[in-house]
Each structure stands twice: as C-alpha cells, then as structure tokens.
Structure 1
Amino acid sequence: MSVSSEAAPEAPAADHPSGRLFAHAEFDAHPARSCHSLIRRLPAGTDAETVRANLTALTERHPVLGDMQLFDEALDVGAEHTAAHRRRTREAGRAVNGSPVIVRAVVLGYADGAADLVLVAHRRAVDRRALDQLATALADPAHPVTLPEPVAGGSLQGGPPELPWGLGAADQKGRTGTVELTATAVADDAAAAVPVAAAAVVLARYGQTERAGFTLITGDLAAADTQRSVALPVADATRVADLLDASAHAGAAGGEPLSGLSAVGVLLTEGRTGEVYRPVLEPVFPVTLAWQRHADGTLSGALHYDEGVLAPEIARQFAGHIDRLVAALAQAPADARVGDIELLDTAEAAAIVAAGRTPARGDTAVAPIHELFRKVVAAQPGATALSDPDRTLTYGELDARSDAVAAALRGYGVTPADRVGVCLDRDADLVITLLGVLKAGATYVPMDVAYPAERIVHMVTDAGARLVLSSRADFPAVDGVTVLQASELSRAAGEPVADLNVSADAIAYVIYTSGSTGRPKGVAVPHRNVGALLAATADDFGLGPADTWTLFHSSAFDFSVWEIWGALLTGGHLVVVPYFVSRVPEDFHDLLVRHRVTILNQTPSAFATLKEVDAERSADLALRLVVFGGEPLDVRSLQDWFRRHPHTRCRMVNMFGITETTVHVTSQTLTPQDVSARSRSVGRALPGWSLSVRDTEGRVQPFGVPGEIYVGGAGVASHYLNQEELTAERFVSDPVTGERVYRSGDLGRLRPDGRLDHLGRIDGQVKVRGFRIELGEIRSVLLEDQNVTAAAVVLNDHDGDAADVHLEAYLVPKHEAVSVEDIRQRAARFLPDYMVPATFTLLSELPLTVNGKVDVSRLKPVTPDTPAAEAPEAAQPADDPVLRVWREVLGKHVGPHDDFFVSGGTSLLAVRLSGALRRAGLPPVTLRELYVYPTAAELSELLTGRELVEEPNGTA
C-alpha cells in the first residue's frame, strides 16, 4: 500500500439545494467531499473550440449545464511528459466550489497534438453515469446525457457517530489522508459483492457485533447512483456464499434509504480502460472506502479518511485488514464460514501482543516479602518505619515486634502455608501482625472489622483458617477456629526463632473480592509478585527512605498491599491512618501536613473530597507523588488541582490494576495536557507485565479496537481459592505467546504505542468507593431472602459525581406486607456496608427486554424528588435548618427520623453534609458523631444543645 497525506484545502461553502445525494452540512462546508473527477484522452482532432461548441449544443437539452465552467490551456510539453501528468492530476483534484457551478471542464492541449479532457463535478448533480456520458458528449454532442433525479427527503441531520477504534485526534479534524488498497482479481459475478462483504466483516470484528452497519454508494456506467444504509449479517457461522449474496443486493433500490450520516462509507464505482477516474477528492465520510471495478476483472481502491476520526496508523491497519478480507473472500471455498477467516495473521497478532509487553528489569527481586524487609532493616535499623497516633517504631523495632508475633503464632501451632485470618483495627498492630504472619511462613487473610458476621464466617471457612487474630469483640464463632485478641498474642510470644525457608512462590496473602455466585472469592497471591511490583516501580517513582506513605485503605482492599509493602520494602515511613480520620477529609488533610507525607495513594472518589478541602486550606502539602487506583479516573477532575500543585512538583499517576494481577498493571503520568484531551489512557504495562485486548473468542484485537483486557507477566496471581473451574476459566494459557494470562473482564483498547485505554467493565462488575463489586453477588444475597421473588441491582452514577455514586436495588416482594427495612437489614448481615444498596424499591414486576433480560433503562432511579413512603414530620418542622441541609444532600424524600446511612448516605456524602451544615451557619459534624446521631432530628437536638452551651458568652 502506498500512503499520501495532505492538509485538506478550505473551500467556500456551497449553496446546495437539499434533497439530493450528499445534501448535508458537512458536504456543503467541504465541497470536495461530494466531488468526483475524470481524465479522458480526447479523440484526435478534437480541440478546445470543438468542446466549447459541443457544450453549447448540450446546454440546449440540459439547461442546468449552462453554468458549467470550461477552460482550456496549452502546454509546451508532450502528453506523456511528467509536467503534463502533474498538471492534469492537479486539475482533477480541485473541487468545484458549488452552486450554481456544478461541473468544471478543462481541456489540456499538448505540444505533440494530443489533448485531455478533465471533468470535475458534484456527484449529487452529475453522478458516475452522467459524468461518463458528459465526457463522451463533449466530443460527440449527439451522445445522450442522463442527469440524476433529486433524492426525496431533506438534508441529513447531525454529525457522524464516533468510532471507538479510530483514535483520531480532535486537533487534526479536517486534515485528510489516503491509503491505497491492494488491487485484487475478483470474478465478475462477485466484483460488486466482495468489497462490500469485506467492509462488513472488518467492521463487525472491530465493533464486536454480528451486523455491521455502514453507508453504501454505488455508481455504474449504465445506471444511476444509489445510496443506502446497509447492515449485513456477519456472525462467525454465516456462510461466505450467503454473505456475498446479501452484499450483492445491498445497494439495490429496494434497500434501506439513508437515514443519517455514517462514520464509514463504501463507494463502489466502475472504471473504464484508458481513463483516470477519481471517485472522491476528499473523504465523503470520515472513513471512506472507494473501490473501482475494472474491465480486466480487478478491484482497485483507496481508503480516504479524516485524521480527526481515524489516526494515520489506524488507517493503515484498517486498510490492511480490508485488503486481507477482500483477498480471502475472493478465494474462499463455497462452504466456508465467516469465522474461518482470520482478521490478523500470525505475525500481526504477535506484533500487537508484543506492543503491550514491557520487559522486566534485570534486578527483579525474587524473594519472600519478609526477606526483602530484612534487607531494609539491615541497611537502616534506626530509621522510622511505622507510626500511628499512639506510637512510632523504627525498622529495628518493627522487625523485633513482628518476630515476636511470628514466634507466638508458631507457639499456637501455625505451620508454613497455613492461612491466618487477620481482622484488626487500622493501627500499627495491624502492620506488625501481617509481617509476623509472613515471618511464620504462613499466609495472611485480611478481613475488615466492619464486615458483617456472615461474610466473615464465609471467609474464615473458605480459607480454612484455624487461627484468627482479631480486635473485634463480637467476632463470630466458627467451629475449630481459635480467635485471639492482639493482647493475647503478645502475652504468648516466646523467643524469636529463625525464619523458615519460605519459597518466593509461596502464597503471601489471600484477598477476597466480590463474586457473582453470592459469596466472595479468595485471590491467592505469591510473595514473588509483590517483589516484582516494587522492582517495576521503585526506580520510575524514585521510591526510597526519604518518602513518607500513608496506610489509608482497608487491609482487605488490595491497594493496602501497595501502601504497606511499597513503603516498608523501600525504606520509607508508613503512617497508619485511623479509620475515622480516613473518612473526614479535613482531619486527613491535617495528617498529611503534620507528617509531611510525600506519597499518597487514593481512589478518585476519596481524592475528590480531599481536593475540595485542600482548595480551602493554605497549609502546604509535601506531596511529590499521588497514585490513583481502584476505580476509573475522570482526568477533568484534576484541572483545579494542577493550578494549585503544578505537575512538575507533584506527579499525578493513574494506575489500572486488579487484585488478580497484584494491585497495579499499568502506569500513566498525567499532565494538564491530558486533562485538556480528556485522556482515558492508563498507560503502558509495568516492567514485567503484559497487556493485550481480545474479542469474545479470545482472538487478538487490532490496535484501537475495544475488547477484553488480558493481563500476563509477573503480577498474575496463583489461583482462586477452592474454585478450580473459575480458576481455569479466568487464568488461561495464551495461544499466541504460551504464557499464563488473566482474563480481567475489563473493557479496553490498546494503542499502537502500547498504552491502554480503560473503558469500564464488560460484565456486571462495578466500582463503588474504590471497592470492586459483582452486582450478581448482591442480587444473589437478595434472592436468598424468603420475602423476595425477583431482584435487580444497578449502579447509579448518572451525574458523574463520585460522592453520589450508589447502588440501587429493585425487588419484587412475595406479598404486600413485606418490609423494605427487613430486607435491608438481612442484606446487611451478609454484605459489607459498601455493598448494601443505598435504596430499595419494591415493584410488582421487573421490566424485561424482548430477550427476557431485565430492562435496566426502565428501572426508575431513586432521585431527590421521589416522594417519601414514610410520612409524619410533625416532630420536626419542615423549615428546620438541619432538615433542610439533610434534604439538600440526600433528597427531598428524607424525613426527620430517617437514618442517614439507610437513606443512601455514604461516608463521602457525610463529608458533603458537614460542609453544607457549615455553609448554613451551623456547626459541622464529624463522621463519628453522625454514626451516633444518624437522623436529622437527633442531629438537630445535638447541635441545638451545642449552641445553648456556646451562646452566653459566644464561646464554649
């Protein structure tokens, strides 16, 4: 393929009548998009004067040609001279500027007596047949000319749809390019069908659909142009013969008329031997495949494209796939199936997979976590390692404390490979214990102290833990399981013993993530993966002893793995953030300032509230690195942050990751330019990791084409605990590379430079407050309720505000007396708070689609205007300022005695409530106070009492 690209010339807007082919604002603004041209050698003895006389005769029969422009020029070179070729080619590429001029003719005479006629016309007024007839008639006026009739209907409305795989740049809109397509020999009876079918298959593979839609324009020498919207069946099981038959009839007059402007169009026209015909001068559609059928049985063509829609490298790739499909379809056996034709050959698939791979660094640490920690201790035993509000430990002290925990665990019979449950409050003891479990040769299984009892019982039972370390007074009893408080463990500590010989392949931790079966699933991650993660990031991020990190996240959330070991394995200082401090951004901001924290890890939801507080504070932060993870980041939210904290001083990094691939997979440093471009890139794979994007059959997707993200390399976890079938389904062998990869269930597209765009989830998995949730798990829990016959759970994130993102449950009760509160309370026994839906709506039935699936679009979301089911508000006046603020945050349906957290409140909305109270002239409240006084009535009473104490002299 040969490639050319040039900036599209601006042409004056044309005053085109509506109702004809190409009647659209885009074409009116760029006349070249609706022009075609023809170069034909005039018969010997025919000169410019003859052509002019013939035009006069034609105008009598066709008055519309009266505005036709006719020019002539004599060149002092022969017809075959390079200068002659260049002159006629340039003239054939100049558009007609518009009404009333619809055709321009130029007669070029050469020194050797030959002459060429160059015609350029608007296709909507002079189609392919008419252009050919007009060229003949200008040499022989007796020849008939049939001009096309206007097409019924008005101008097309709206612009072309986006191409999710085009990767075009908005600042390149209007700049056009061309890729020549490979000429292919095709049987006469298939010449009209093969290019149409090829476009259908390629577009279907790019769009992961079984019906590919585009616009088809046909222009024959013997018939008028037709223009139709087509959608052809291209499932893998479709017979190639059937597809070709459908393609041959796709442009028939009985087809579907054009209903809008397509992003992709196919022009199929007929060429004549000895002349040069250009079907388009610029892309008629943003992506235009222009084909010509020739008398010798070949097809030739070109891809014309707008770089604002299609990036040049994607254009070349797309053209190559069209070439490949044309050749394959032209040679396919009669009984072949569409699925038999591969879009990519082996070499291209391997090249795409290689682009998504980043080679590992040579110094990747292959050792257990605690051995890597010992090396840091040896290098800096007196350096500060860990602190919480009550104490600070050096590396030497942390080493000794964790040794004591390991000795005590062994005293309780813990042996290598045992799984030990850890359910502790977020303080220094948590980190000491996790390290001690690893030193004992065991695997830690973290559980949040706020988890409901039933969930904890499942995790302990599924993990086969015989010992649990917990600070929770009401830890549920499980047969055969010993539960120890931290104090009991410290009393049992004996003399430290030598580390056991633990393999780097041993499982370091099992973190449970949401599962579609209704129960969470445990992800088993080896020690070596954590060392590989630090080796992949330490140099790039400059991690070292000068850094101070925060442990902000729950140990049951894998972001904590990065926070804890990222700090302690690089010699940094880890500051443990107490739970209630993590939920109050003002307090957390104070902590960041007080400890001069340099590395902060946040979900976008949590950072949104911290950013608001920072904007109101004058205290300067010491942050040099902020890492985002856990959920998608809208880069536009960083615009104000960059104004206060230049990216050259505080580096902002977006990282895509999955528990099953050891926290992080990619890294993308963000700049204000990314904000302007609204980038969705999460960057390249970390060193030692690999990325590829696959279709539903596991085939490698081309660059830019969305599909399921597969992750390979150093971070891939070992397995799902006790779930062999699920492990085999999600951890698979890649047929392209032979390596073990993880099917993520995430949707993405790979760019030619190896960067990944993350596009969300394929299945019912969502992110809420950074936690990964299977909607199916919540639904399963609800369906287990004896009062529920049907259930649907959806994520409400319509306004894009991270603080307002919440889950909504829609239920069909077994009888009218069913209580929503009873259902909610039962769900809360099995689900952690972040998985309990904020709202529960009872319905007589769930709306279904024609395919029998729940029609989510018809589920009415609970909004602030939804009327309350509960009534009396007499106990508290509607004009009460606290209730007004309550409703401002939660909605008008909230009553004075409605529990904040039952009514859809979250910790993020609690922050918003506190700020709203302050703006209303009322004292703000802490999250802890809101848990104790969770209704507007109770909070009003609290604040009233507080004001009475302060009123006498204005101070407390």
Structure 2
Amino acid sequence: MSDHFKNVVDAIAATASLSPERVAICDGTTTMTYAEMMERASCVSLKLRRHGVLPGDCVTVALDHDIYMIPALLGVLRVGAIFVPIDVGHPPERTKAIVATCNAKACLASSNLFDGAQLFHADATILLDFNGHAPSDDSTPDPCDSAYILFTSGSTGKPKGVKIAHRSLYNYARWAANTYFKDGQHVTALHSPLTFDFTMTCIFPPLMAGSTIRVFHRSEQAFTMRDILKCPEVTVLKLTPAMLAVSNELPLYHDNLKRLIVGGEDLKAEIARQAANKSRGLLEIINEYGPTEATVGCMYHRFDSEAEVAPSVPLGKPIDNTGAVLIDQDNKIVAGAGEGELFVFGECLAEGYLGDAGATERAFREDVFGIKRLYKTGDLVYQDIDCNYFFRGRMDRQIKIRGHRIEFGDVESAALTHPLVYDCICFETKNSDFSELGMLAAVLSSIEKSELVEHLRTRLPQSMVPSRLDICFDLPRNQNGKVDLATVLGKFRS
C-alpha cells in the first residue's frame, strides 16, 4: 500500500479505480464490486449534502450489520463529516447522552432501525438508500480532520467520546493493510459491531489492499464463530481471546484460514497455543494491542508456539510511526528490562475526548521526556531486554471483558440511581482465563438481585451488566474506613 495518500477515503478510491470489478463486499448471497461500492458511497454523500451536512459535522449512524453499512460509512467520510456509531438497542438515556454530546447534525439509519433512531434525532434522521447519482466533487478530508468518534465507558457514568483524526486512522489502516492483507487476495470476516473499534480492522485495511469483506450477521458468539470457521472463503479473521477460546472448541472445517488477529484483551499463551496446534502450525496468530485512544492497534506480536514461555502472549512492539515508553513510580523512563505504566505516542494518538478538556489533559501529556505528546494507558507493563512488552494488569479501576472496556465508576453510577442502593463497589473476578465483572451493592432495605440487574439493564449495554452480583446492608470496611476489597472478594469465593 502506497504511503502517498493522506486518508482512507482517497486510498480506497484509488484501489477501486484499479480493480473496479473486483468483489469488495459479500454476505454469502449478495456481492458488491468496488465500483458499485464507490457509486453507493457517492449516493450517500449526495443525500447528506442535500440535508445540509457539511465537512466537520457529526453524523450518527444506526446501520444494519450488512453489506450496505460499508458504503454508508464511506459516504459520510467522502462528504467530510464525522461518523459516530450508535446502537439503538442500548438503553435510551445512554444513547441520548451520546447524541447530545456530539451535537449530531443528522442520523443515517437503515430502514428497520429508522424508527428507533428517530427517538433520538426526530426530524434529522435520514433513511439510508442509494437513489440518485453524485458527481465526483466530494471534499478530500484533511489529515487533521476528525474521521470518527467512538464512545467508551466513562468513570463518571457518562460515556466518553474518543475523537480519531484521519491521519491516525490512515496510519493504522495503511500499516494493517500491508501487514495483514498484502500477501494475496484475502477475504476477511466482518462480524463485530461498529461501536467496537476492533471492527475498523475488518473494514478499512482490507479495502485499501483490494481484498474482500465477508459480512456475517451477528448472533450468539458460538454460532457466529462456527459459521465463520465453516466458510471456506475466509482467510483472515479478527477476534477477541474469548472468541478464540470458543473457536478452539469447534472443528477445523478447512485449511483456508491463514491468519488470526487477536485483540481486545489479554491473550493467554495457552489459548493461542491450542489454536496453533489445532491448525498443525499452518495458522499465523498475531496479538494486536491498542486502546481506543491509540486508534485500534498500536503494537503487535506474532505468536511463536515453541518460543513463548510467559503466561500471556507479548504485546510486542509498536507499529509504524508509533512509539512506546514505560514510566516507573519515580516518574522516570524504564531503561532496559523493568516494569512501569505504558505510555504510547506518535501518529496513533486520538485527538482527545469530545467536549471534555479536563479528561483530555489528564490522559494526554504534552512535552514530557522530550516527546511532543503521550497517552497514559493505565496499563501496567513489563519490558524485557529485547524491548518486547508484556501486559501485567490495570493501574486504575477499569477492565476489558470480551474486548469491551468497562470503567467501574460507570457501572457504579448506574447502580446508585436505584432508590434503595446507597453504596456499591465493582471489581474484577476470574472465570478460568477470562475476566468477569462483579458488584457488591449496599441497600437501605431488602431487594431481589434480579430487580437490581434489571435496573442496570435499562441503563447500561449488556456487556457492562455485572455477571456476578450480591447485595448487603453495609459494605465491609477496614480500620481506615476504606472498602475492604479482600473481604468483598472472599464473599464471592465462598
């Protein structure tokens, strides 16, 4: 992939012009060529302009998980607007907060999600269709313009909007296209939601490389993985460690799958080794690390089944135009082997948090250690003598479950809106090799656990509802008045 482009829009358009009749997207019954995809993207950009959408405007997208989602996203970017994924199935108050924070000019919605989207946008909801024809006069986004905003869990109970610029998206997508898709005509599986930044790997890099996206309709995880593994077309698959563990329990239907990209949470070496052994060593497994604030992925490591001896697969080394340093407790850079908090820098960094200068200033450090800008990941990491990085854990009240980042404070804030809950604490528990979210809630009078769970479900995405929950009248505290976490955890083990 050439490096002379400045954004994914121009790079994909160039690929389409070289191979217009190549299949860009398919779903098992319908195919769309690169020429057809770009024509539909132009129709969308024309429709957005006619509704008054201008470069720099936010457009929320409530789109079906189908082949038409991709030209819709390209259409938003072609007009110079910023796409903001929403899920109309999430609790309404949360979605309203997202729409209000980004001050969306419009919402682009698929037909069967149109009514749900109107609850948040009223007259500003635009039905996705591909009628009309647009001339090729779309604005070329500047590298410094925002491409998309993803809302993640926030410690105050309010979702945080992470702004990603075109230069950062292009830097990642160009690297991923060259790393994952350059060695042949690949087909990658698209199965995860657009609200998950993990999904960007399955959209922009393959299109820049001239590969094909195979869309799988979302269903129960085991069924989705089975369908993907049975599909002989798929050669590249991105999945979380939890999905990989599910896949390890399923048959290996064919040998066409060549590469697994694993990301979203800590990858245990044994799970990767099981997948490698199952494929008789024919499968390349890549561990990709990156918080949303570092644009999908900023470090990677190719798994070596024979050489890996640590419990977790290394995070690896930084991708192109990206760097990393560890800062110890004395606020000094860790030189050589040692442990500290991971800070990343370079083209990967997000612009910051939408409408929250304070949070941006706390997370993104300016002019430190001679580096123009650093992102404080909150991850405790060990660095070996070869400068490979290994995940040790979190340094704050945050975990990742099945790739979804969850701030404990976000869940606790939702629980405290129940009139009988006056205090609570969230914590991480383990189920085999995977994290689970637990909560102990202190109540004023007796309530059923099921009542509190239902209360949380109306306010949080399902991924943020604790899988283990208990109720008490007082949280256990130590002599200093702080919550005694050891006692809390003991309660859940007993």
Q: Mark yes or no: TM-score above 0.5.
A: yes
Q: 1:611 and 2:248 equivalent?
A: yes
Q: What letter corresponds to residue 543 of structure 1 in structure 2?
A: K
Q: Paired residue for 1:853, among 452, 476, 482?
A: 482
Aligned to 2:134: 495
Q: Distance in 1 between matches of 2:361 and 2:5?
A: 26
Aligned to 1:806: 436
The 5 A counterparts of 1:250-329 are none
Shift of 1:798: 4.7
Aligned to 1:435: 74
Q: Paired residue for 1:823, among 447, 452, 477?
A: 452
Aligned to 1:464: 103
Q: Distance in 2 between matches of 1:637 and 1:406?
A: 44
Counterparts in 2 of 1:412 and 1:447: CA distance versus 1, 3 Å: same
Q: Paired residue for 1:570, among 204, 209, 220?
A: 209
Aligned to 1:78: none
Q: What letter corresponds to residue 304 of structure 2 in structure 1?
A: T
Q: Paired residue for 1:484, among 126, 135, 143?
A: 126
Q: Distance in 1 between matches of 2:119 and 2:179?
A: 46
The 5 A counterparts of 1:863-942 are none
Answer yes or no: is the 8 Å Cα contact 1:422–1:447 preserved in 2.
Answer: yes
Q: 1:399 and 2:28 equivalent?
A: no
Shift of 1:365: 4.6
Answer yes or no: is the 8 Å Cα contact 1:661–1:716 preserved in 2.
Answer: yes
Aligned to 2:277: 643
Greater RCO between the two (CA within 8 Å, min separation 6)?
A: 2
Q: Paired residue for 2:311, among 678, 682, 686?
A: 678
Q: Distance in 2 between matches of 1:384 and 1:862?
A: 55
Shift of 1:543: 2.4
Aligned to 1:526: 165
Q: Paired residue for 2:228, among 574, 580, 591?
A: 591
Counterparts in 2 of 1:535 and 1:469: CA distance versus 1, 3 Å: closer
Q: 1:738 and 2:371 equivalent?
A: yes
Q: Distance in 2 between matches of 1:377 and 1:510?
A: 26
Counterparts in 2 of 1:478 and 1:752: CA distance versus 1, 3 Å: same
Q: Distance in 2 between matches of 1:390 and 1:460?
A: 34
CA RMSD of aligned residues (A): 2.2
After superposition, the C-alpha distances for 1:614-669 in whole angstroms (9 at most, x for unaligned) are 3xx5x21311111111000001123332223143x321111111110111111111
Gaps of 5+ in 2: none
Counterparts in 2 of 1:483 and 1:537: CA distance versus 1, 3 Å: closer
- SS of the residue aligned with 1:773? strand
Aligned to 1:242: none
Answer yes or no: is the 8 Å Cα contact 2:88–2:95 preserved in 1.
Answer: no
Counterparts in 2 of 1:544 and 1:424: CA distance versus 1, 3 Å: farther
Answer yes or no: is the 8 Å Cα contact 2:150–2:197 preserved in 1.
Answer: yes
Q: 1:656 and 2:283 equivalent?
A: no
Aligned to 2:239: 602
Shift of 1:521: 0.3
Percent identity of equivalent pairs: 26
Answer yes or no: is the 8 Å Cα contact 1:791–1:812 preserved in 2.
Answer: yes
Aligned to 1:951: none
Q: 1:750 and 2:392 equivalent?
A: no
- SS of the residue aligned with 1:706? strand
Answer yes or no: is the 8 Å Cα contact 2:176–2:201 preserved in 1.
Answer: no
Aligned to 1:413: 52
The 5 A counterparts of 1:933-952 are none
Answer yes or no: is the 8 Å Cα contact 1:544–1:570 preserved in 2.
Answer: no
Aligned to 2:395: 762
Q: Distance in 2 between matches of 1:726 and 1:584?
A: 34
Q: How many residues align?
A: 491
Shift of 1:826: 2.3
Aligned to 1:633: 267
Answer yes or no: is the 8 Å Cα contact 1:368–1:504 preserved in 2.
Answer: yes
Q: 1:695 and 2:337 equivalent?
A: no
- SS of the residue aligned with 2:300? strand
Q: Distance in 1 between matches of 2:306 and 2:480?
A: 44
Normalising by structure 1, what TM-score?
0.49
Q: Distance in 2 between matches of 1:738 and 1:481?
A: 46
Answer yes or no: is the 8 Å Cα contact 2:272–2:285 preserved in 1.
Answer: no
Answer yes or no: is the 8 Å Cα contact 2:10–2:140 preserved in 1.
Answer: no
Answer yes or no: is the 8 Å Cα contact 2:8–2:173 preserved in 1.
Answer: no
Shift of 1:531: 1.8
- SS of the residue aligned with 1:433? helix
Answer yes or no: is the 8 Å Cα contact 1:639–1:675 preserved in 2.
Answer: no
Counterparts in 2 of 1:412 and 1:699: CA distance versus 1, 3 Å: same
Aligned to 2:360: 727
Counterparts in 2 of 1:365 and 1:767: CA distance versus 1, 3 Å: farther
Q: Distance in 2 between matches of 1:539 and 1:474?
A: 39
Aligned to 1:557: 196
Aligned to 1:474: 116
Q: What letter corresponds to residue 474 of structure 1 in structure 2?
A: G
Counterparts in 2 of 1:798 and 1:495: CA distance versus 1, 3 Å: closer
Shift of 1:759: 1.2
After superposition, the C-alpha distances for 1:88-137 in whole angstroms (9 at most, x for unaligned) are xxxxxxxxxxxxxxxxxxxxxxxxxxxxxxxxxxxxxxxxxxxxxxxxxx
Q: What letter corresponds to residue 437 of structure 2 in structure 1?
A: L
Counterparts in 2 of 1:860 and 1:670: CA distance versus 1, 3 Å: closer
Q: What letter corresponds to residue 407 of structure 1 in structure 2?
A: L
Normalising by structure 2, what TM-score?
0.93
Q: Distance in 1 between matches of 2:273 and 2:204?
A: 31
Counterparts in 2 of 1:549 and 1:418: CA distance versus 1, 3 Å: same
Answer yes or no: is the 8 Å Cα contact 2:272–2:303 preserved in 1.
Answer: no
Q: Distance in 2 between matches of 1:365 and 1:714?
A: 15
Q: Paired residue for 2:16, among 370, 377, 392?
A: 377
Greater Rg over alpha carbons, structure? 1
- SS of the residue aligned with 1:500? coil
Shift of 1:824: 2.2
Q: What letter corresponds to residue 455 of structure 1 in structure 2?
A: R
Q: Paired residue for 2:86, among 425, 429, 447?
A: 447
Answer yes or no: is the 8 Å Cα contact 1:692–1:700 preserved in 2.
Answer: yes
Q: 1:516 and 2:155 equivalent?
A: yes
Q: Distance in 1 between matches of 2:365 and 2:4?
A: 25
Q: Distance in 1 between matches of 2:490 and 2:468?
A: 9
Answer yes or no: is the 8 Å Cα contact 2:420–2:443 preserved in 1.
Answer: yes
- SS of the residue aligned with 1:673? coil
Q: Distance in 2 between matches of 1:782 and 1:525?
A: 31
Shift of 1:860: 4.9
Answer yes or no: is the 8 Å Cα contact 1:839–1:862 preserved in 2.
Answer: no
- SS of the residue aligned with 1:569? helix
Q: What letter corresponds to residue 315 of structure 2 in structure 1?
A: V
Q: Distance in 2 between matches of 1:481 and 1:697?
A: 55
Q: What letter corresponds to residue 127 of structure 2 in structure 1?
A: Q
- SS of the residue aligned with 2:432? coil
Answer yes or no: is the 8 Å Cα contact 1:593–1:621 preserved in 2.
Answer: no
Answer yes or no: is the 8 Å Cα contact 1:524–1:719 preserved in 2.
Answer: yes
Q: Paired residue for 2:64, among 425, 429, 432?
A: 425
Counterparts in 2 of 1:381 and 1:592: CA distance versus 1, 3 Å: farther
Answer yes or no: is the 8 Å Cα contact 2:239–2:261 preserved in 1.
Answer: yes
Q: Distance in 1 between matches of 2:489 and 2:311?
A: 30
Aligned to 1:149: none
The 5 A counterparts of 1:334-345 are none
Shift of 1:815: 2.1
Q: What letter corresponds to residue 811 of structure 1 in structure 2?
A: A
